[in-house]
Structure 1
Amino acid sequence: MSNVTVARVEDRDLRAGRLRWAIGASALALVWTAVSAVPASGAAAPKVDPYSWTETSIGQPGLMIEDVDAADGAAWAVGSEYGERLVALRRDGDAWIDATPDVPGVNLVEVAVAAADDVWAVGWDGSADAGTTSPLVVHWDGTTWAEIPRPAEIGAFDDVVVDAEGTVWVTGWARIGSAETAVVYQYADGEWTEYADGLQNAINGNSLTVLAPDDAWLALNPGLAHFDGTSWTMVEEFPADGSQILSGVAAVDATDVWAAGLRYTGGAIQPIAWHYDGSEWSEVQTPNVSAQVYDVTIVDGQPVVVGEELDRDWASTPLVLTTRPGAEDPRLVQVASPTTNAVVLTSADADAGRLWVAGGDIDVFTGFAAYAELP
């Protein structure tokens, strides 16, 4: 899919495999068109090298890594094998170990590591009926995976978060009554609670960050919303017309929140970033390149944004953006990515003195993970 020559329409989400490639063209449809990948003006900022990357072998061919997450000294990655069989990999010493759940017909797209014996992964199950998916949630207790009863019969989940109190949050979309809409569920004490009030005009929840039970942010398709413990309120500053789509959101604290995604205007796509200072959201300058970004994490109080840069022929190379330490200007600059043949970085996360990135090349199914030791 790195060379787009025909129109492509996707009507659901950004994060289901290479549906990440979809571009927001309206609030109801995501349209790929054969457009130029040339930056609108200017040139990219010079690449600098704040990170020294170490590539790791994932140990088997045919994989595309969708997400990597680390906590409590444990690291996990999830994805698919040749776009068909789900895969979960656990970092064991210096190697990735296959620890895939025994659940047929499903896809895993996101993983959250609360502890070495408390790992959650989400996606969807398409085995029951062609054209219909059911949301999937699985849990690792340190020894085995268990499938958690789903809160909805029809839908798909795209992100999972475990908050400081141990409550599990998931987002994506689900059929509620006769409507298919963005949803957020909480799972605690073996019970699901739905929080979809305020999300009726959104078609998918892409990324979620939780600061407290009454303080959470949700990147939507389209839009950006805040949770007050009861319902969601759309952020007025962020355009909800589909011209910008956010695929990642992360927070330093309640007064320092970052969101990233893409803008589609005039036949071109560019990375976007927004910042919340505790009172309002404002757009942050990004390099003037053709690119899509898929995830953002926080490293030493700074955002690290990952994705792919596109050339005139739609060929992709890994993209890493961050802010300059100590700079008063909050703009994002392009920095050196891992030296790899992976064309896209789908995920980033930091823990235990390491910044992890992961992704791959969907055209030849070459999965990839790398880390940088942090000061």
Structure 2
Amino acid sequence: MALAVAAVAVSGGTAHGEARWSAADLAGVGSALLYGVTRVDDDSTWAYGVGVSGEGKVRPTTPLLLARDGDAGGWRQVPMQGFAGSGSTNRINSLDAVGEDDAWAVGDHEGQRGAIHTQHWDGSTWRVVEAPVPEDVVINDAGLLDVSARAGDDVWAVGWITVVDSEVPHADVPGGVIQETHNEAVVQHWDGEAWRLVRVPGASSLMVNSVAAVADDDVWVSGYTAEDQPAMLHYDGRSWSRVAVPYDGVNGELIDLEARGAGDVWAAGRKLDDDEDRGHALVAHWNGRAWQQVSAPASAGRVKDLALAPGGVTVAGEQADGRPYVMRLRDGRWSDLGVPEGGAAGSRYLAGLTWTSRGVTVAANDWGAAGLTSPVLLTGGR
């Protein structure tokens, strides 16, 4: 199987890449973390994450959704419900839409409810929908990291559970316990009535990060194994199978998946060349018959997010020294889009990106004082 299907020629951005990007005015949002951004339809783009209050030692969280209606408009904050309680985790980890009146947001586990936080949009309101966790094990954490909405009765989500293997009293902490745990993959399916857990092979030694539902008999799930090897699962409508993704590294992970159709699926993440390596970009493409590694520039560090773009894809990630980058692969050629580093002392990190008619929209976060963060939305880079 060939390992490389694209040239590695790289064209640089402008000498002053920051001039090609425009930043949204998010001053009214306050302290928050963005986890991603997605193009809902031709007119709407949504960015999502979690709002964080800076009052006192306890910082309450609320789901954060920002919407831009039309590529020329500004961003507005959309109210969303959260799980109640001081210990609730209300972040939105991922969001996807069938259309403007049918969308899903997925988040984390709420211990008091014993369920995972998801929300559904019906065109007028967001409604909290609980997703189950396995009942045959004891868990202390769980969440859904990605969602792919194909139809009103065909939505897939993937994530993890932390299973408690053993528990003993903590000798130095009255009432405390010491737990031994392990993580397992979780796959869930919305059938139009409820979220239902779906068994996948090797879940106990697998972490999954992303899902792409192409059809009811064509679903891809990516992640990595307990041995830190890239992993890919495929569902053909009847059963799940492991599919090999070749790559020229000793270890690696697949972080994101995007699909145009049955014969055009993309995956991205990180590969390690040796034990001292901090990671290089890993990009792969499914052509309908096999996965092939796509050569990426040596300067590209791990990929944190992938988005489809005309003639190829765009990727966002970080270099070995922590500096953010956005690159585009178009017609077999990579170009560096020169995303501004921003933040204080290089404290900006990229959370996600999507393609719009104006170019690339990037969700990022700038670290500030006292551990608070400021959300950033940049558009440009064509």
TM-score, normalising length: structure 1: 0.75
Q: Distance in 2 between matches of 1:86 and 1:214?
A: 36
Contact kept? 1:118, 1:142, Cα under 8 Å: yes
Matched residue, 2:62: 86
Structure 1 residue 356 displacement after superposition: 2.0
Matched residue, 1:171: 158
Structure 1 residue 233 displacement after superposition: 1.4
Matched residue, 2:108: 124
Which of the residues 313, 323, 330 maps onto 2:329? 323
Contact kept? 2:33, 2:373, Cα under 8 Å: yes
Change (3 A) 1:273 1:185: same
Matched residue, 2:56: none
Matched residue, 1:76: 46
Contact kept? 2:267, 2:306, Cα under 8 Å: yes
Matched residue, 1:366: 374
Structure 1 residue 358 displacement after superposition: 0.5
Contact kept? 1:358, 1:368, Cα under 8 Å: yes
Match of 1:149, SS?
A: strand
Matched residue, 1:55: 23
Amino acid in the other structure paired with 2:328: T
Structure 1 residue 187 displacement after superposition: 0.6
Q: Distance in 2 between matches of 1:351 and 1:164?
A: 22
Per-residue Cα deviation, 1:14-72 (whole angstroms, up to 9, x for no partner): xxxxxxxxxxxxxxxxxxxxxxxxxxxxx994522699432112232321200111222
Within the alignment, does 1:203 sit opposite 2:206 as a pair?
yes
Within the alignment, does 1:349 sit opposite 2:354 as a pair?
yes
Change (3 A) 1:79 1:116: same
Q: Distance in 1 between matches of 2:356 and 2:329?
A: 19
Q: Distance in 1 between matches of 2:261 and 2:375?
A: 32
Contact kept? 2:245, 2:284, Cα under 8 Å: no
Change (3 A) 1:345 1:84: farther
Match of 1:194, SS?
A: strand
Contact kept? 1:261, 1:292, Cα under 8 Å: yes
Change (3 A) 1:373 1:47: closer
Q: Distance in 2 between matches of 1:322 and 1:286?
A: 10
Match of 2:107, SS?
A: strand
User: Which structure ranks higher in relative contact order (CA pairs < 8 Å, sequence separation ≥ 6)?
Assistant: 1
Matched residue, 1:24: none
Structure 1 residue 254 displacement after superposition: 1.8
The structure 1 segments of at least 4 consecutive aligned residues displaced by more than 6 Å after TM superposition are: 175-179
Amino acid in the other structure paired with 1:47: G
Amino acid in the other structure paired with 1:160: V
Which of the residues 33, 42, 47 maps onto 1:64? 33
Which of the residues 86, 93, 116 maps onto 1:135? 116
Contact kept? 1:122, 1:157, Cα under 8 Å: yes
Contact kept? 2:152, 2:192, Cα under 8 Å: no
Within the alignment, does 1:229 sit opposite 2:237 as a pair?
yes
Matched residue, 1:182: 185
Contact kept? 1:44, 1:289, Cα under 8 Å: no
Within the alignment, does 1:266 sit opposite 2:275 as a pair?
yes
Within the alignment, does 1:220 sit opposite 2:223 as a pair?
yes
Match of 2:200, SS?
A: coil
Per-residue Cα deviation, 1:332-351 (whole angstroms, up to 9, x for no partner): 44332256436222111234
Amino acid in the other structure paired with 1:281: W
Q: Which deviates more from structure 2 when the two are superposed, residues 149-158 or residues 273-282?
A: 149-158
Q: Distance in 1 between matches of 2:21 and 2:104?
A: 27
Contact kept? 1:71, 1:113, Cα under 8 Å: yes
Contact kept? 2:245, 2:293, Cα under 8 Å: no
Matched residue, 1:148: 129
Contact kept? 2:325, 2:339, Cα under 8 Å: yes
Change (3 A) 1:345 1:166: farther
Change (3 A) 1:177 1:95: closer
State, as a whole percentage, how many aligned pairs show the same letter. Answer: 24
Bigger Rg over Cα = 2
Within the alignment, does 1:308 sit opposite 2:318 as a pair?
yes
Structure 1 residue 201 displacement after superposition: 4.8
Contact kept? 1:286, 1:331, Cα under 8 Å: no
Contact kept? 1:54, 1:338, Cα under 8 Å: no
Q: Distance in 2 between matches of 1:205 and 1:86?
A: 25
TM-score, normalising length: structure 2: 0.73
Q: Distance in 1 between matches of 2:38 and 2:133?
A: 25
Q: Distance in 2 between matches of 1:227 and 1:359?
A: 33
Which of the residues 77, 100, 104 maps onto 1:97? 77
Matched residue, 1:31: none
Per-residue Cα deviation, 1:181-237 (whole angstroms, up to 9, x for no partner): 312221122133433232435432201111111112111133112111122211224
Corresponding pairs, count = 321
Matched residue, 2:307: 297
Amino acid in the other structure paired with 1:228: D
Contact kept? 2:154, 2:189, Cα under 8 Å: yes
